[in-house]
Homo-oligomer: A and B are copies of this chain.
């Protein structure tokens, strides 16, 4: 099934307890694409400025990522993000952010992408997410991400946009902020009610090193993260998770709740690769064999004999 992602491409500067990297490639659309590309072809819709470093070109040459929707806008500048992590690695502190081209007009979905069946709207202003979604004809599964900023300052626009999406991925703090509910299961149930009524009302509540809670139709399940001893840089973990999850679903003609569970496991495993290196270093090691091996190991770890 065709899979489209729209999100950011960023020039990142990242500091973690394991080191510092400057002007590395980042952004939600990049992490999502590379993670999803392990399972399915990905259509990328994003925009960079003409300052986008030459060194990023390699990242745009993944055989499973179609960059027909990648616009290099003359006279504009690429999105920049700088952040650092405390030793727990659970939360990024943004030290500098310059929206640049992301504050200009949204990119265009190319004609050949308009029939996309699965759409991931990475976190941005909900009105922009809807503008991009409106360019896709008849999607079957639309999943959006959001951030605390959009929840606290654009609640009305966000709530309106949720009626048009089948799924929302967000973290635990964001879910609490959105609903006022401290209990995460209760928060999920509230969020489900805001989503498109005719869809599966999918909510994936990400908890970083503690895994995630997922609701999909009548299914509700918890899954731990893949236990990782050495976390180098958590940047992009959430988008890699979403990429792994939706890439996995895109490889299937249709999906049952059991498939959704497998997809969440795939997302978890892709996130575990991402955090083992800066930028795309971790995902570059995630070839088919490595992903399959870790996925099998992870599923075995989760299985408790039913006897």
Contact = CB atoms under 8 A, between A and B. Distances in A.
Contact of A185 (B89, B228, B265): B228
Given A182-B88, A207-B210, A211-B211, A301 B221 contact: yes
B211 A227 contact: no
B303 A302 contact: yes
B182 A89 contact: yes
Contacts of A87: 182
Contact of A265 (B89, B182, B262, B304): B304
A222 B224 contact: yes
A227 to B, nearest CB: 5
A299 interface: yes
Given A227-B185, A227-B213, A302 B304 contact: yes
Contact of A231 (B183, B207, B303): B183
A258 interface: yes
Interface footprint category on A: 35 or more
Interface string A286-307: 0000000000100111111111
Given A211-B222, A222-B211, A222-B225, A303 B301 contact: no
A224 B227 contact: no
A58 interface: no
Interface string A74-101: 0000000000000111000000000000
B210 A210 contact: yes
Contacts of A207: 210
Contact of A221 (B210, B227, B230, B305): B227
A209 interface: yes
A306 B301 contact: no
A184 to B, nearest CB: 7
Given A183-B231, A303-B306, 4 more contacts: A183-B228, A211-B211, A222-B225, A262-B304
5 closest Cβ contacts across the A-B interface? Answer: A222-B224, A210-B210, A185-B229, A87-B182, A221-B301
24 contacts: A88-B182, A89-B182, A183-B230, A183-B231, A184-B209, A185-B227, A185-B229, A186-B230, A207-B210, A210-B224, A211-B224, A221-B227, A221-B301, A222-B224, A222-B227, A222-B301, A223-B224, A262-B304, A262-B305, A296-B306, A299-B304, A300-B306, A302-B303, A303-B304
